[in-house]
Structure 1
Amino acid sequence: MRSIFALLLLALGAGAAHGAERVVNIFNWSDYIDPTVLEDFTRETGVKVVYDTFDSNEVLETRLLAGSAGYDVVVPSATFLQREIKAGVFRPLDKSKLPNLKNVWPDIAMRLSRYDPGNAFAVNYMWFTTGIAFNVAKIKERIGDKPIVSWDQALKPDNLRKFADCGVYVLDSPEDLFSTTLNYLKLDPNSKEPGDIRRAADLLSGLRRYIKKFHSSEYINALANGDICLAIGWAGDSFQARNRAREAANGVEIAYVIPQEGALMSLDNLAIPKDAPHPDEAHLFIDFLLRPDIAARNTKVTHFANGVADSRPLVDKEIADNPAIYPDTAAMRKLFTVTAPDLAIQKIVTREWTRVKTGR
């Protein structure tokens, strides 16, 4: 859950005249920042940005557990953050170097503290829901004027079968899909019971024949180009797909819904690996992102809600007033979060997710 700015080097602003060049190495999700924010950071601070991207938490975690690979700021999702904190891969934030922490959204910080007690190691960057994105015209061709309001449309085989011919993508994320399916089955979405996980996997396995691909970023362009008609995906990505279709003027209309049964709320967060080579520059970069004007610019480009409360008045009304991006109070009550499984349960999750995707 986000065109890749692969190894984006911003040469603006050399280091101090009599010292080594200052650098900060960033590892973030794809499509997850306004590129001009990076340019402005270099212009204002003189710190060069080396920017690389990933498209799954597993890729990030593998790098972190093997050492930071030279990264100074990384962006793990909350459940992975929780597990990685326990593994000792992050350094505590020096809050004296983060004056813009005063701008964080209290409710979002509180939700993050479930994973990072005291918000000691991380600060929220973006938060979002997992829902259903779809091609309005192609869905209407297949089910008429009946609106998509329920997970029934995506999680019942007889319903999903109707969309197989026009293409269905699903996130390659067991956390998103298992928790969503457990909630749909009226089970605890945060369940760590092996039997519950297998029940969710059984339901999802029954959908596999109708799913074109499991991927956590390719569905953006696939939706925008009209190559698929439905995706279980992230809110911000879905609106990026809508905007790309509009920019292409290709006649594709994309919509996104948070189904009435509720949805997973996820938090992506800024953290500093314990062996980061440039921790001072890392704090400087995180503090820059916590400025309301900068957070608003990133939300404008990504269509993900950010963790800076005072940025919302600066966000375009089309985004700030969109309940699929900034849910209202009633919808927020139906959003759930999940915590990281222990190693034994994670092995079951991995095995069952492999079964979902491959049938083996």
Structure 2
Amino acid sequence: MKIKIKLLAGTLSLLLAGIQTQAQAEDNVLRLYNWADYFAEDTIANFTKETGIRVIYDVMDGSETLEAKMMSGHSGYDLIFPGDTVAERLMRAGALQKLAPEKLEHLSEIEPGLQRLQAQYPHSRYATVPYTWGSIGITYNAAAINQRMPNAPVNSLDLLFKPEIAAKFADCGISMIDSPDEVMAIALHYLGRDPRSGKAQDLDAALALLKSIKPYIRKFQSQPVTQLVNGDICLSLGYSGDVIQAQRAADQAGKPVDFQYRIPFEGTSIWMDTMAIPVDARHPEYAYAFINFVMRPANMAAISNFTGYPTSSATARPLVAADLRNNPDIYVDDAVYARLFPGEDIPQRDMRARMRAWTTFKTARD
């Protein structure tokens, strides 16, 4: 009987030890939520190798999904990557932790232009660390555009927003980012109106402008790289990183294509993705460790080189690939910064009005 009891006790001890080991393994995990392919290929593996912290990387399919998860509470994430306006709403709603500056090792290295941009978000500026950023502008196939219109106004939104010019490129394909808030903002700004307006007369003017070019738009999409490389489109209103990704994909495929990107002289929208810790994060200390890891200049440069977007680290810039850091429409100077306007948290009533205008535009008959 004593032997059986000893055997049973030993078995229980082994089971408890196994449970404890499993619990410790599960506890040594950073859960993060970010866009797909938004790190360098070895960022997460190198972090785990250095710290022993395993990373569970859930892919975000949209800012709306992120916001809904955070607002509902108990998201289960330790670190998230919200855009600037989303972060502002989340902080105001109490969904993010206020960060402790003494735990962040690279705050002084953030690009001055991004520090000024961050200052425009009074609620989230103390709860976020800038990650990557960019603008929305014109990516184009230089040969295709020049063939159809020598000396085309590639530095101007006239290239897209004037119907008589846009019509010249309809045969080689025009793409527009499928983002109502950003496109409406750019159209309104082009017309000399408040880019964040929800007024009926402003939205009617923007809608009329967009409808005038609807017959020449082939696709609405947020990832035009494949279509650019395949020759399905030659002109795209979209994110600044598209040109780097498209050029590298074309080079790898052995296609002699020259892609260019321009920030329109009329001005356009600048966006910034950030790193933030949810208020209910289980392991905020792991989140701080990850932020500090990716903010190292070498790691930030690797992320920039892989994604095609500039990172927030000014000290990383000399380490970034020359085709990226030397492009004045990607890594911009103060004069260009002055032509860019940030996103803004728009009241729900105005946002609904803008969404109705966008839906009317997209569903309009050509």
TM-score under structure 1 normalisation?
A: 0.88
Tell me the CA shift for residue 30 of structure 1.
2.7
Q: Does 1:164 align with 2:170?
A: yes
| SS at 2:170 equivalent | helix
Contact 2:88 2:123 in 1 (8 A): no
Tell me the CA shift for residue 92 of structure 1.
1.7
- With over 3 angstroms needed to count, the CA separation of the structure-2 counterparts of 1:242 and 1:267, relative to structure 1, is same
CA-based RMSD: 2.3
Tell me the CA shift for residue 64 of structure 1.
2.5
Partner residue in 2 for 1:310? 315
Q: Distance in 1 between matches of 2:50 and 2:22?
A: 13
**Letter aligned with residue 348 of structure 1:** A
Q: Distance in 1 between matches of 2:221 and 2:105?
A: 38
- With over 3 angstroms needed to count, the CA separation of the structure-2 counterparts of 1:199 and 1:57, relative to structure 1, is farther
- With over 3 angstroms needed to count, the CA separation of the structure-2 counterparts of 1:30 and 1:167, relative to structure 1, is farther
Partner residue in 1 for 2:247? 242
Q: Does 1:153 align with 2:159?
A: yes
Contact 2:268 2:341 in 1 (8 A): yes
Q: Does 1:225 align with 2:230?
A: yes
Partner residue in 2 for 1:127? 133
Partner residue in 2 for 1:25? 31
Q: Distance in 1 between matches of 2:39 and 2:107?
A: 19
| SS at 1:92 equivalent | coil
TM-score under structure 2 normalisation?
A: 0.87
Partner residue in 2 for 1:285? 290
Q: Distance in 1 between matches of 2:166 and 2:312?
A: 34
Tell me the CA shift for residue 87 of structure 1.
2.3
Q: Does 1:343 align with 2:357?
A: no
Percentage of pairs with the same residue: 37
Q: Distance in 2 between matches of 1:329 and 1:351?
A: 36
Partner residue in 1 for 2:267? 262
**Letter aligned with residue 100 of structure 1:** H
Partner residue in 2 for 1:70? 76
Larger Rg: 2
Moved more, 144-153 or 291-300: 144-153
Partner residue in 2 for 1:136? 142
Q: For 1:135-174, what per-residue CA distance to the aligned partner results, in whole angstroms no more than 9, with x for missing partners?
A: 1222222213435121001112222222222222111112
Partner residue in 2 for 1:84? 90
Q: For 1:28-64, what per-residue CA distance to the aligned partner results, in whole angstroms no more than 9, with x for missing partners?
A: 2233221211111111111111223235322322333
Partner residue in 1 for 2:328? 323
Contact 1:151 1:184 in 2 (8 A): yes
| SS at 2:135 equivalent | strand
Partner residue in 2 for 1:176? 182
Tell me the CA shift for residue 277 of structure 1.
3.1
Tell me the CA shift for residue 124 of structure 1.
0.6
Q: Distance in 2 between matches of 1:283 and 1:132?
A: 36
Moved more, 336-345 or 186-195: 186-195
| SS at 1:99 equivalent | coil
Partner residue in 1 for 2:7? none
Q: When the two structures are aligned, how many residues end up with a matched partner? A: 345
Q: Distance in 2 between matches of 1:67 and 1:245?
A: 43
Partner residue in 1 for 2:50? 44
**Letter aligned with residue 344 of structure 1:** R
**Letter aligned with residue 313 of structure 1:** P
Question: Structure 1 stretches of 5 or more lacking a match?
Answer: 1-14
- Find 1:97's aligned residue among 87, 95, 103: 103
Contact 1:224 1:254 in 2 (8 A): no
Q: Distance in 2 between matches of 1:276 and 1:17?
A: 17
Tell me the CA shift for residue 19 of structure 1.
5.9
